[in-house]
Structure 1
Amino acid sequence: MEASTSTPLRNLGQSKIKISALGLGCWQFSKETSFVSRFWAEIKQEDINEIVRMSLEGGINWFDTAEIYGKGESEKALSEALATIGQAADDALIATKWWPAFRTASSITKTIDVRLDALDGRQIDLYQIHQPFSFSSVAKEMKAVVQLLENNKIEHIGVSNFKASKMVQANEFLNNEGYFLASNQVKYSLLDRRIEKNGILETAKNLGITVIAYSPLEQGILSGKFHKNPELIKKIIGPRKYTRFFKPSGLKKTQPLIDLLEEKAKKYGVSQTQIALNWLIHFHGETVVAIPGASKGHHVQENIGTLQFKLSKDDLEEIDKISQQVAIFE
């Protein structure tokens, strides 16, 4: 095992911004104000404050939120938490997203001040197009976010859920304007490896774009707790309990990977969750970072602990081999 006494940082894409290999996903801060927020039980603001404080103190220096998360409530909760921390939070980096559905690119410039207000005027270090389905082209969206850059409204540009060809389009437009695409946020885990086959990961590596992995623990399946006690699935809030990996057939299929994660967890003296996250942020060099969430203090400790060690090359490859036998690739 390679141990670390400090949290290693890496560049966000081609930018000079240094980010921790794990950020904190903030969807769960939505406070149940919309349908997309109802995947999580509501978290009290004082608990959000503590989660953010612990994350910062543990070396996690960036936070990923979005307009659609509670219609801005997640952004507000994050900014309030950072405000309670005071000067120690001045260097915290914020990534948020514009929601494109049923909108045109003109909405990007028209709504940016709403995003900044929700964040209490804090700097947006990474502004992302949340998904590719709007009434405008990629070029028009990129033109709009370039305006935000040039007006000092945002610092860097990212996308989310963009396929490889649209990543290339976005990056080419930005290059022609003297800028670059910093990131693409996509679903990726040991159980969902589609980006390795559909060109997204290869394109990111070739263009120097950071892949931000969401759902890195496949909504908790990779922790192993649901394999050990399937009755816990009945207590899950929201629709995730109806997805493939939570079904009896899914639990059975993924058991070999869960067993291996448990074996490696004992070897390294960490949790299965930390093994799964550590694989994700190291197997592809520095291309992939991840944004696990946290709704309790012990989740934060899990995230922080992930950054304090590195799996050996042999263990990375062994996990990869078993993962390939059970993961989704298309």
Structure 2
Amino acid sequence: MAMQVIGASCLCVFGRRRSIGTVRAFASEDFTTLKTTEEKVKLGGSDLKVTRLGIGAWSWGDTSYWNNFEWDDRKMKAAKDAFDTSVDNGITFFDTAEVYGSRALFGAINSEILLGRFIKERKVKNPEVEVDVATKFAALPWRLGRQSVLTALKDSLGRLGLSSVELYQLHWPGIWGNEGYIDGLGDAVEQGLVKAVGVSNYSEKRLREAYEKLKMRGIPLASNQVNYSLIYRSPEENGVKATCDELGITLIAYSPIAQGALTGKYTPENPPTGPRGRIYTPEFLTKLQPLLNRIKEIGETYGKTPTQVVLNWLIAQENVVPIPGAKNAEQAKEFSGALGWRLSDEEVTELRSMASEIRPVTGFPLEKL
């Protein structure tokens, strides 16, 4: 295993020489300490600190997008194993939403209920375990005013079995009533129901408006959760990433492995099924292969999988917290391997350059339906 060399001008990682300033590799005995200390980051200007990588719980209970219209005890156990494995490996930030697994959207059981159940069961075994929960308010057309935010939040807390959550987010901009929604976020902070507040799928303009409105109450806007990955870099192109950096708002990246397209699992001959198959077509996957091959080559120099490389690419952007979805223990364990090391600046730039030659997947972010 590669070892960090203190005081040396360079180190060799799997036969390649790299500068200490652009890569960090750690012996196994250093890894746990690194993940539990350095890998905690503040969300924006809030006091909330979370792990540098979180876990998205969209698939937990869902039957409308991820689970082929089927949710059973086997998948329930797999989700529980994903939760436990994440915590065991130092990832304690979990993102859910009131609409994930909602029966109104053909789900079998609400994701918030599952996450709350998993937390409760874990605390029975270890009362000292600390889990940071983020959930979201659905800006549905019939929800009006600040009170609707508080009412929805209290319903979410009931499903989670918690008295408060660490982060509460507006899932998407409303058709109307957005100022009232922002007021509701501020009220939630002042009433001690949340530690920090954020938004999701907000443009640069809406982001600035939300930031300023909360600032007048002395409340920081902690985060903006958007679709962001190596092959979907709209936040870099539409000003959202730059605005987050300027205002000190953390960008939480959903679909950070492009719903599996960047893992190398899918090929033109074996595309994903279901709704993802309409996005990541054989034609697109053919264009993606050179990039996937290079990701694999880079991963091999670090002893990392393609999934770990593309997650690390996002972490290397700084001010970005990716939240890949874990459906089982194996995926959760793999995600944890994205922590504790860094791609070099040259590799980050090279991958962005290669990805820029691929027309990104566009259209409505299905994750938010």
TM over 0.5: yes
Shift of residue 269 of structure 1? 0.9
Shift of residue 47 of structure 1? 2.6
Correspondence 1:277-292 to 2 at 5 A: 277-282=311-316, 284-285=317-318, 287-292=319-324
Correspondence 1:261-280 to 2 at 5 A: 261-280=295-314
Q: 1:329 to 1:77 in 2, by over 3 A?
A: closer
Instruction: Give CA-to-partner distance per residue, 1:109-133, whole Å, 9 cap, x none.
Output: 2222211100102531100000003
1:11 aligns with 2:42: yes
Aligned to 2:213: 173
2:45 aligned counterpart, secondary structure: coil
Aligned to 1:79: 116
Mapped contact 2:199–2:223 kept (Cα < 8 A) = yes
Q: What is the total number of aligned residue pairs between the two structures?
A: 319
1:232 aligns with 2:254: no
1:2 aligns with 2:37: no
Shift of residue 10 of structure 1? 1.2
- Greater Cα shift, 169-178 or 254-263: 254-263
Q: Distance in 2 between matches of 1:240 and 1:44?
A: 19
Q: Distance in 2 between matches of 1:161 and 1:19?
A: 20
Q: 1:74 to 1:294 in 2, by over 3 A?
A: same
1:258 aligns with 2:292: yes
Mapped contact 2:164–2:192 kept (Cα < 8 A) = no
Aligned to 1:108: 149
Q: Where has structure 1 moved over 2 Å in runs of 4 or more?
A: 35-49, 87-90, 230-234, 327-330
Aligned to 1:155: 195
The root-mean-square deviation of aligned C-alpha atoms, in Å, is 1.9
Shift of residue 327 of structure 1? 4.7
Q: Greater share of helix residues, 1 or 2? A: 1
Q: 1:59 to 1:148 in 2, by over 3 A?
A: same
Mapped contact 1:14–1:208 kept (Cα < 8 A) = yes
Aligned to 2:254: 214
Mapped contact 1:204–1:211 kept (Cα < 8 A) = yes
Q: Distance in 2 between matches of 1:256 and 1:48?
A: 33
Mapped contact 1:254–1:326 kept (Cα < 8 A) = yes
Q: Distance in 2 between matches of 1:83 and 1:211?
A: 29
Pick the structure with greater CA Rg: 2
Q: 1:259 to 1:40 in 2, by over 3 A?
A: farther
Instruction: Give CA-to-partner distance per residue, 1:272-328, whole Å, 9 cap, x none.
Output: 11111100111x22x111000111211011111111321112211211221222153
Aligned to 1:25: 56
Shift of residue 98 of structure 1? 0.5
2:219 aligned counterpart, secondary structure: coil
Q: Distance in 2 between matches of 1:160 and 1:67?
A: 14
Letter in 1 for 2:307: T
Letter in 1 for 2:25: A
Q: Distance in 2 between matches of 1:150 and 1:219?
A: 36
1:203 aligns with 2:243: yes
Aligned to 2:6: none
Aligned to 1:130: 171
Letter in 2 for 1:96: T
Identity of aligned residues (%): 33
Q: Distance in 2 between matches of 1:327 and 1:269?
A: 29
Question: Can you give the 5+ residue segments of structure 1 that lack an aligned partner in the other structure?
Answer: none
Instruction: Give CA-to-partner distance per residue, 1:125-173, whole Å, 9 cap, x none.
Output: 1000000034312x21111111111111111110000101000000000
Aligned to 1:307: 339
Mapped contact 1:79–1:122 kept (Cα < 8 A) = no
Q: 1:113 to 1:80 in 2, by over 3 A?
A: same
1:76 aligned counterpart, secondary structure: helix
Q: Distance in 2 between matches of 1:226 and 1:130?
A: 29
Instruction: Give CA-to-partner distance per residue, 1:46-78, whole Å, 9 cap, x none.
Output: 332221111011111210000000127101101
